[in-house]
Amino acid sequence: MDKPVFEPKIVAFLCNWCSYAGADLAGVSRIQYPPNIRVIRVPCSGRINPLYIVKALQQGADGVLVSGCHPGDCHYISGNLFARRKFALLKKFLEQLGVEPERIRFSWVSAAEGVRFAQIIEKVTNDLRTRGPLPYFRKDPAQWELPL
């Protein structure tokens, strides 16, 4: 029997104006993409507190994707450009500490890019299938019953 493929849980923070609409377009266009993402709609990628990403990993996500409007297209003019600085530092910092690059992803997807959205989800999911579950950092109730 084939070994069952690991299906990662991915939390996707999508901005309301572009990437969420892009995901919506992928849906109404019947474009197939892996069902591994759990979407959280946010007003803007600039709304993302880096702690959301870290906390998602701690609480059971195998990976996190944040997606917003392309630079220049932000509904709030520049929210995504402020976000880009934060994301650059967060991603590099966690990678330096030893977190695999595949676990934290950022992308730009516009409301018209249903295909692109599906492709990104495909890529993110496939990479994490190869990586396997997050082996560290996660909250684990199994450790609650430690013998004295």
Residue ranges in contact with other proteins by CB under 8 A: 50-51, 54-55, 58-60, 65, 71-72, 78, 81-82, 84-100, 105-108, 116, 119-120, 122-124, 136-141, 143-145, 147-148
Of 32 and 96, which has the nearer Cβ to other proteins? Answer: 96
Q: What are the beta bridge partners of residue 15?
A: 42
Q: Closest approach of Cβ 136 to other proteins, in Å?
A: 6
Which tokens go with 121? 């989800």
* Residue 22: Cβ within 10 Å count: 27
Q: How far is the CB of 29 from other proteins (least distance, A)?
A: 16
Nearer to other proteins, 17 or 63 (CB): 63
Q: Which is nearer to other proteins, 21 or 121 (CB)?
A: 121
Shortest Cβ distance from residue 11 to other proteins (Å)?
14
Q: Which residue has the tokens 């396997």?
A: 132
Closer residue to other proteins in complex, CB, 4/135: 135
Collect all residues with Cβ–Cβ distance below 8 Å to 139 and sequence separation of at least 6: 58, 59, 60
Q: How far is the CB of 93 from other proteins (least distance, A)?
A: 5
How far is the CA of 104 from the CAs of 53, 60, 65, in angstroms? Answer: 8, 14, 6
Cα 67 to chain centroid, rounded: 7
